[in-house]
A and B are shown apart, each in its own frame.
Chain A
């Protein structure tokens, strides 16, 4: 029996489609991500699921472990910042995209993707952004 769990609680919702959980400052209205734990000054909010790629790079070499705990063996992966309109610019892994197709301004959608499989068979998932359906080739 294999099961699935998010890499940490409180980063994204498990509804369909999922949302990243940000925080809105009660006084200033400032939006943050992730939602600060145990801070009553921030109310949780669902962040927009579609945005545009703001910048990107490719992680070509294995990051040091710890803290890195991704799939073995290491495969290069893309990371970027995605601008979510009216909210903020979120840093994220990028998924389902050829590295040479990455460009600033690319429409991106939130996705929940497998990060690794733990020794007990549990699939650990994380959030990522991938090209919006109409932008995928």
Chain B
């Protein structure tokens, strides 16, 4: 291993819905913004990793950005697409073979996207026919058990959603930019008990690009404000509770998040108490709650008092999902994990404007999770 790697440029295409612009074009938009932010040209980029879940091959954007002959690896890794792209560029730069690379992720999902077929998941047709082929049921059942075993209330679920929309209202790139009060959230339609309409994120569109540099290159560019201390991607271990499981073993095990988180903290040489701001996967509001514990920030059940006390709000001791997370930004699968890292760089720079965390931000944590059991954690430090 050679020296450290840094994020020297960030670019984002606003999340939500953009008519007339493909997912790939939103990725290109983000790439150009990241290049401009880093103060480099496309021809300076020595390698790229990129991907989308449903919007085509990232490497085709060279037609628009320039035919510079760089190696460009396409990533298709579900919800970990962005995290895996970042991991690829990070590893290449840390190997010492490259000085400057780009990770890019984008997607454009229509309304009500994500309709998995049983056969694509190795499941029999009856599983879908009887009405079990729904990701939302999995989220609800993981959460129901967690709430009952650890004393988490429905009010706490609503508080997480309300915080997300409050933060999203302050983030230029967010999709949902109107605050929603607790009463409206608690009165909204129940979809899969205990989860209501405003507690779920939606499929969306967006693109994010990050420019990574070696220490030497980052110093030359004068951009050493976001050092990558850890990138860990882990798939599910035995006994992890994941989506679309007709049966579970009696012996339960940890989630991939627990494993990725421990690996990242060890790699970074820091602990949960050192983290100043965290972006945690919030596919639904209960996921944010469970992921607070799975990532080691609190004990199971402590979320009830943490959230009531406002500890995860922008002015709290551990602000979580400062741009509103997936609940306010929506989830373009290929871009979602990179959005979290983008937001952390913004917070490290103190450039968050109305959503800037008021306390000094030195160490920032991001965690992406997706089907069928993959988690990616990135720790950045100023």
Q: Is the CB of A60 within 8 A of B189?
A: yes
Q: Is the CB of A77 within 8 A of B131?
A: yes
Q: Is the CB of B115 within 8 A of A126?
A: no
Q: Is B142 an interface residue (CB 8 A)?
A: yes
Interface string of A88-113 (1 = CB under 8 A from B): 11110100000100011000000000
Query: A34 to chain B: which residues have CB within 8 Å?
Result: 124, 246-247
Interface string of A18-57 (1 = CB under 8 A from B): 0000100000001111100100000000000000001111
Select B117's contact among A7, A32, A67, A77, beta carbons within 8 Å: A67
Q: Is the CB of A87 within 8 A of B129?
A: no
Query: A64 to chain B: which residues have CB within 8 Å?
Result: 112, 115
Query: B128 to chain A: which residues have CB within 8 Å?
Result: 66-69
Q: Is the CB of A104 within 8 A of B148?
A: yes
Q: Roughly how many angstroms separate A30 CA and B250 CA in the complex, as a whole number? A: 10
Question: Count of A-B contacts with CB under 8 A?
Answer: 110
Q: Roughly how many angstroms separate A7 CA and B118 CA in the complex, as a whole number? A: 15
Q: Is B144 an interface residue (CB 8 A)?
A: yes
Closest A residue, CB atoms, query B195? A57
Q: Is the CB of B191 within 8 A of A61?
A: yes
Q: Is B192 an interface residue (CB 8 A)?
A: yes
Q: Is B5 an interface residue (CB 8 A)?
A: no
Q: How many residues of A contact B (CB 8 A)?
A: 42
Q: Is B190 an interface residue (CB 8 A)?
A: yes
The smallest C-beta distance from B188 to any residue of chain A, in angstroms, reads: 12
Q: Roughly how many angstroms separate A69 CA and B145 CA in the complex, as a whole number? A: 28
Interface string of B128-152 (1 = CB under 8 A from A): 1111111001001110110011000
Query: A57 to chain B: which residues have CB within 8 Å?
Result: 137, 140-141, 144, 192-195
Q: Is the CB of B141 within 8 A of A7?
A: no
Q: How many residues of B contact A (CB 8 A)?
A: 36
Interface string of B100-142 (1 = CB under 8 A from A): 0000000000001001011000001111111111100100111
Q: Roughly how many angstroms separate A70 CA and B140 CA in the complex, as a whole number? A: 21
Query: A32 to chain B: which residues have CB within 8 Å?
Result: 247
The smallest C-beta distance from A34 to any residue of chain B, in angstroms, reads: 6
Q: Is the CB of A67 within 8 A of B125?
A: yes
Query: B308 to chain A: which residues have CB within 8 Å?
Result: none
Q: Is the CB of B250 within 8 A of A60?
A: no
Q: Is the CB of A88 within 8 A of B126?
A: no
Q: Report if A55-B142 is in contact (Cβ < 8 Å); known contacts: A7-B126, A79-B131, A88-B250.
A: yes
Q: Report if A68-B248 is in contact (Cβ < 8 Å); known contacts: A80-B141, A81-B141.
A: no
Query: B69 to chain A: which residues have CB within 8 Å?
Result: none
Q: Roughly how many angstroms separate A81 CA and B137 CA in the complex, as a whole number? A: 11
Closest B residue, CB atoms, query A33? B247
Q: Is the CB of B246 within 8 A of A33?
A: yes
Q: Roughly how many angstroms separate A104 CA and B144 CA in the complex, as a whole number? A: 9
Query: B124 to chain A: which residues have CB within 8 Å?
Result: 8, 34, 37
Q: Is A58 an interface residue (CB 8 A)?
A: yes
Q: Is the CB of B129 within 8 A of A115?
A: yes
Interface string of B163-195 (1 = CB under 8 A from A): 000000000000000000000000001111111
Given pairs A57-B140, A89-B249, 19 additional interface contacts (CB within 8 A): A11-B126, A37-B124, A56-B141, A56-B144, A57-B195, A60-B192, A60-B193, A61-B191, A63-B133, A67-B127, A67-B129, A68-B128, A69-B129, A77-B131, A83-B250, A87-B250, A88-B247, A89-B247, A115-B129
Q: 21 A-B Cβ contacts within 8 A?
A: A8-B126, A32-B247, A33-B247, A37-B124, A57-B140, A57-B192, A58-B192, A59-B131, A59-B137, A60-B190, A60-B193, A61-B191, A63-B133, A66-B117, A68-B131, A70-B129, A80-B141, A86-B250, A99-B193, A104-B144, A104-B148
Nearest 9 pairs of A and B residues by beta carbon: A67-B128, A57-B140, A55-B145, A33-B247, A89-B248, A69-B129, A55-B141, A8-B126, A57-B192
* B binding-site residues for A, Cβ under 8 Å: 112, 115, 117-118, 124-134, 137, 140-142, 144-145, 148-149, 189-195, 245-250
* A binding-site residues for B, Cβ under 8 Å: 7-8, 11, 22, 30-34, 37, 54-61, 63-64, 66-70, 77, 79-81, 83, 86-91, 93, 99, 103-104, 115, 126
